[in-house]
Amino acid sequence: MSETVTIAVDAIGGDAGAPVVLPGVEAALSADADLKVLLCGPADVVEPFAAAHERCEAVVCTEEIEMGEHPAQAVRKKKDSSIVVGCRKVKEGAADGFFSAGSTGAVMSAGTLVIGRIRGVKRPALCTVLPAPKQQVLLCDCGANADCKPEYLLQFGQMASIYAEKVMGIASPRVALLNIGSEEAKGSALAQEAHALLAEHLPNFAGNGEGTDILSGRFDVFVADGFTGNVCLKTIEGTAGALMGALKGVFKKNALTMLAAALVKGGLTDLKQSLSADTVGAAPLLGVKGACTVGHGSSNETAIKNGVLTTAAIARAHVSDLIAQEVQPKSA
Amino acid sequence: MSETVTIAVDAIGGDAGAPVVLPGVEAALSADADLKVLLCGPADVVEPFAAAHERCEAVVCTEEIEMGEHPAQAVRKKKDSSIVVGCRKVKEGAADGFFSAGSTGAVMSAGTLVIGRIRGVKRPALCTVLPAPKQQVLLCDCGANADCKPEYLLQFGQMASIYAEKVMGIASPRVALLNIGSEEAKGSALAQEAHALLAEHLPNFAGNGEGTDILSGRFDVFVADGFTGNVCLKTIEGTAGALMGALKGVFKKNALTMLAAALVKGGLTDLKQSLSADTVGAAPLLGVKGACTVGHGSSNETAIKNGVLTTAAIARAHVSDLIAQEVQPKSA
């Protein structure tokens, strides 16, 4: 039996909203008997669902943050939105974590402004588990901080290392700095200074890794400033999309190639599955006081389910407490 | 008939050296009747080849810059290396361009230190034509400048735009700034300031493009600082490699999947070909006084041939003169 945790969930986040979120939450509740959900959203969405499900409580919100809104402004203005209310539940201790498939920017803002930074953390960072054919790789930061200082990157490495060990179950994660050459003197001024800090303070720092190394299985964690990390993440997505699209063209050429497609259908489906973000479902915002995660806007039911379960796993692993211990000033 | 051009070629560049470079040069000379080659390298390599080929002159060099050497130091020290001598031929006007498949760093250093920057160009930039399934895309800078200022990125856009038009034949290239969101206020401080400069000074600037857009065909040119550009380039390479590797696994599973592989072999070969860098063969260093290009270390004969021909095309298009006109102070 696992520890009982309570996760606040944004009932209306994601491109498809409640029609996808609710079945996802239902599946998560079924899969995890020690999970409680505080379902945040409009009364007509959350109340009937909570009434019909054990371990689910309705938290009625009257506002909604839309995808196009300026994140920080929306968080400040819409104090009764599902994202702000969900984060407030974590802040107040009523929930151990918050999950939303809504606006990534709004969740990052609410995580930082409402839940609050862990003392000693300079900048919370968004981590993504990259779906790679060989193994999962954690990329941190993926876009929370476009402009970074070397000491932020050190903390990204420390926080991501804890996450990789405690949530992904990698005993001694090999942490790489995303750089443009393997030698330590390579890269921008930021990368060179970050390299020196990581080498000095992170015992499992494994040196520089390049773009070609990300999906190679050589490293478990990649540390990057949020600008480079976001470009990298979206470049992987774009390249995989372009290749799979081109491949589809190859298979659709004629009757024989369509026969070939039928013969490898199972394998291709498995490959697509291994590249899918649905199996993780949630990108954690590390460095805030609680488990706070964001799902992809295009999340399906499975992704929502796994996103909620991942958030529960982060809460159970006490990732925030471990980060607090790691980053707090060592002097008494 | 095209304009006669003379290209200095590093006879010993690339992982395989002369055994691959010489047949490549031979093929280039056959393909272009108005091409002359100054073949730079050791006497025993270049003299017999020059004696056996019309329009080829031997330039004997006694030194070689190895792949592991510190680029700028090697260029300063080894004044009789094939890379330095080839660039000197351009500087002296004996050649219109230089091509090497040797150390990218050494060619960038020699291009800047020996051939010299065009007056008004702040930083020469390395451009790569990305082999995309749909169309070619030019990425600039790919690693010459790890730390950039906004005004460098403006010039990268101006130089790459000229290259895309005059060498790649794209009438009015759509130039994007590689960024982490489509809105103009997105991104790092560098990206935001570069966006403002590009919007003001580059008529064919098409706004921000994200990692997902690179291979989509939406833009012809991507402008980036050399750090982000290099990470992006290598991430594309790594993602494509990981996917093609995983795909191989799908096809090798059993007799039926191997039959499928046989049925789509032609299409897969075409797809691989469309992703191959061999068809371009050369990455230009834009902003120096002459055509100066680098081939991939793993270039084969076809890549060397195309690299030499691309260098000749850059020289014939007078790209350096056009860049000089574009970037020189408009006053006086």
Kindly identify which residue of chain B lies nearest to residue A179, measuring between CA atoms: B231
Contacts of B103 in chain A (CB under 8 A): none
Q: Under an 8 A CB cutoff, do B233 and A247 touch?
A: no
Between A189, A225, A264, which is nearest B251 by CB?
A264
| Pairing assessment for the beta strands A175-178 and A205-209 based on DSSP bridges | parallel
Judging contacts by C-beta atoms under 8 Å, the chain A residues touching residue B215 are: 238-239, 241-242
Are the beta carbons of A227 and B188 separated by less than 8 Å?
yes
Chain B residues touching residue A133 (CB < 8 angstroms)? 242-243, 245-246
The mean pLDDT of A123-149, rounded to a whole number, is 91
CB contact under 8 A, A235 and B211: yes
A263 to B271: CB separation less than 8 angstroms, yes or no: no
CA distance linking residue B114 with residue B76, whole number of Å: 9
Compute the average pLDDT of residues A218-244: 93
What pLDDT does residue A298 have?
Answer: 87
Nearest CB among B214, B225, B264 relative to A235 is that of: B214
Q: What is the pLDDT of residue B155?
A: 98
Task: Give the A:B interface size as CB pairs under 8 Å.
Answer: 184
- Put simply, the answer to whether A216 touches B242 (Cβ < 8 Å) is yes
Residue A103 near residue A87, CB atoms below 8 Å:
no
User: CB atoms < 10 A from the CB of A33, how many?
Assistant: 11
CA distance B132 to chain A (A): 8
Per-residue pLDDT averaged across A30-58, rounded? 97
What average pLDDT does this structure show over B145-159? 97
Mean pLDDT for B277-283 is 75
Q: What percent of chain B has pLDDT over 70?
A: 97
Q: If you average pLDDT over every residue of chain A, what do you get?
A: 92
Determine the Cα–Cα distance for residues B39 and B313; give it in Å rounded to an integer.
18
* 3-state secondary structure (DSSP) of residue B99: strand
Q: What is the pLDDT of residue A2?
A: 78
- Give the residue-averaged pLDDT of A242-252: 85
Q: Do A235 and B232 touch (CB under 8 A)?
A: yes
Q: Residue B292: pLDDT band by 50, 70, 90 thresholds?
A: very high
Tell me which chain B residues have a C-beta less than 8 angstroms from the C-beta of A253. Answer: 264, 267
Q: What percent of chain A has pLDDT over 70?
A: 97
Q: Which residue of B has its CA nearest to A217?
A: B242
pLDDT of residue B1: 58
Start-end of H helices in chain B: 18-31, 43-52, 71-77, 82-91, 104-110, 150-166, 189-201, 226-251, 255-263, 265-274, 301-316, 319-327
Amino acid at site B69? E
Residues B3-50 have pLDDT tens digits of 899 999 999 998 999 999 999 999 999 999 999 999 999 999 999 999
Q: What percent of chain A has pLDDT over 90?
A: 75
pLDDT at position B262 is 84
Share of chain B above pLDDT 90, in %: 75
Which of A92, A173, A86 lies closest to A127, judged by CA?
A173
Higher model confidence: residue B134 or residue B105?
B105
Task: Indicate yes or no: CB of B234 within 8 angstroms of CB of A212.
Answer: yes
Distance CA A251, CA A274 (A): 20
Partner residue opposite B215 with nearest CB, options A239, A249, A264: A239
Of A272-281, B126-135, B316-325, which gets the smallest average pLDDT? A272-281
* CB spacing of A238 vs B211 below 8 angstroms: yes
Among the partner-chain residues A133, A224, A259, the one whose CB lies closest to the CB of B263 is: A259
Where does residue B75 rank: exposed (0-12), middle (13-18), buried (19+ CB within 10 A)? Answer: buried
Contact B263 A264 (CB under 8 A): no
Can you tell me the mean pLDDT for A304-314?
96
Record: contact A215-B239, CB cut-off 8 A: yes
Confidence at A332, pLDDT banded by 50, 70, 90: very low
Residue A153, CA distances (Å) to A107, A179, A230 in order: 21, 12, 14
At residue A19 the predicted structure's pLDDT band, cuts being 50, 70 and 90, is very high
Which residue in the set B227, B242, B245 is minimally distant from A228, CB to CB? B227
pLDDT at A331 over 70: no
Query: Average pLDDT for residues A186-212, to the nearest whole number?
Result: 96
* The pLDDT of residue A329: 66
pLDDT category, A276, cuts 50, 70, 90? low
ipTM of this predicted complex? 0.91
Nearest-CB residue to B146 (from A188, A241, A271): A188
Q: Do A251 and B241 touch (CB under 8 A)?
A: no
- Evaluate if residue A120 carries a pLDDT over 60: yes
| Subunit contact B180:A226, Cβ cutoff 8 A | yes
pLDDT on residue B332: 43
Given a cut of 80, whether residue A260 has pLDDT beyond it is: yes
Residue B243 or B180, more confident = B180
Query: Is B230's CB within 8 Å of A211's CB?
Result: yes
pLDDT of residue B255: 85
Record: contact A251-B236, CB cut-off 8 A: no
What residues in B contact A275, CB-CB < 8 Å? 243
Distances (CA, A) of B177 to A289, B181, B191, B221: 36, 10, 8, 8
User: Closest by alpha carbon to A284, among A108, A154, A48?
Assistant: A108
**Which of A126, A218, A243 is the best mutation test for B, with the most CBs of B within 10 A?**
A243
Report phi then psi at A121, rounded to 5: -80, 125
Residue A225, SS3 per DSSP? coil
Contact B238 A214 (CB under 8 A): yes
Average pLDDT rounded to a whole number, residues A235-239: 90
With a cut of 90, say whether residue B211 has pLDDT above it: yes
- Would you place residue A117 in the very low, low, confident or very high pLDDT band (cuts 50, 70, 90)? very high
* CB spacing of B227 vs A191 below 8 angstroms: yes
Lowest mean pLDDT of A21-30, B140-149, B245-254, name the range: B245-254
- What is the structure's pLDDT at A280? 72
Q: Which one-letter amino acid corresponds to residue A107?
A: V
B173 CB-contact burial (10 Å; exposed 0-12 / middle 13-18 / buried 19+)? buried
Quick check: A211 and B234 CB within 8 A? yes
Q: What is the mean pLDDT of residues A53-73?
A: 93
Residue of A nearest to B231 (CA): A211
Question: Which residues of chain A have a CB within 8 Å of the CB of B184?
Answer: none
List CB contacts (< 8 A) between B270 and chain A.
250
Contact B242 A189 (CB under 8 A): no
Q: A147 to chain B: nearest residue by CA? A: B188
| Best residue of B227, B233, B268, B298 to probe chain A, by most A CBs closer than 10 Å | B227
- From chain A, the residues in CB contact with B245 under 8 A are 133
- What is residue B182's predicted lDDT score, i.e. its pLDDT? 84
**How much is the pLDDT for A278?**
66
Q: How confident is the model at residue B203 (pLDDT cuts 50, 70, 90)?
A: very high
Question: Do residue B242 and residue A215 have CB atoms under 8 angstroms apart?
Answer: yes
Residue A180 pLDDT class (50, 70, 90 cuts): very high
Residue B132 confidence (pLDDT) above 90: no
Inter-chain touch B260–A256, beta carbons under 8 Å = no
Residue of B nearest to A275 (CA): B243
Out of B146, B235, B256, whose CB is closest to A187?
A: B146
Residue of A nearest to B142 (CA): A180
Instruction: Judge whether B258 and B252 are in contact, CB under 8 Å.
Output: yes
The secondary structure of residue A113, as a DSSP letter, is: I
CB A132 within 8 A of CB B242: yes
- Res. B277 pLDDT band, cuts 50 70 90: low
Q: Which tokens hold the place of A245?
A: 């699209």
Which tops the pLDDT comparison, B257 or A224? A224
Q: Choose the closest CB to A240 out of B224, B243, B274.
A: B243
